[in-house]
Amino acid sequence: MPTHWKVRPYFLTGGRTKTRRPLLVHTLVSVTRYDVVFAAGLTSEARTLYNNARTPSSVAELSARCDLPLGVTRVVIDDLAANDRMTIHDSRYGRDIPMLERLRDGLLRKLA
């Protein structure tokens, strides 16, 4: 057996690839009430995500910081959120094209 091997992603998620709600790469998540006893009972991957989300972070940031595949990160975050251990913040702002265009136009006027 190799001295260093990684567990297959489907094993870490119980074979699941879908989440209950969309978790985009820029979706912010955070732990609002950190519980040391709860954290101790988590798998090492879930515990790492739980610990790192004490500061609001995007799904992509957590995935990179915890060295986990994005799909695994999404499923584990979704599980933690389903148990009210992690908050998924609203990410509708990323789809508000008119607001983003107004912001762009305002910045261009300031720079001109």
Q: Where is pLDDT greater, at 7 or 22?
A: 22
At 35, is the secondary structure helix, strand, or coil? Answer: coil
User: Residue 67, by phi and psi: left (phi above 0), alpha (psi -120 to 50) or beta?
Assistant: left
The residue count for the chain = 112
Does residue 13 surpass a pLDDT of 70? no
Q: What is the pLDDT of residue 18?
A: 72
Strands 57-58 and 87-88, bridge-based pairing: unpaired
Residue 4 pLDDT class (50, 70, 90 cuts): very low
Q: Whole-model pTM?
A: 0.70
CA distance linking residue 95 with residue 80, whole number of Å: 25
pLDDT in tens, 52-111: 999 999 999 999 999 998 888 999 999 999 999 999 987 665 566 676 677 677 778 878
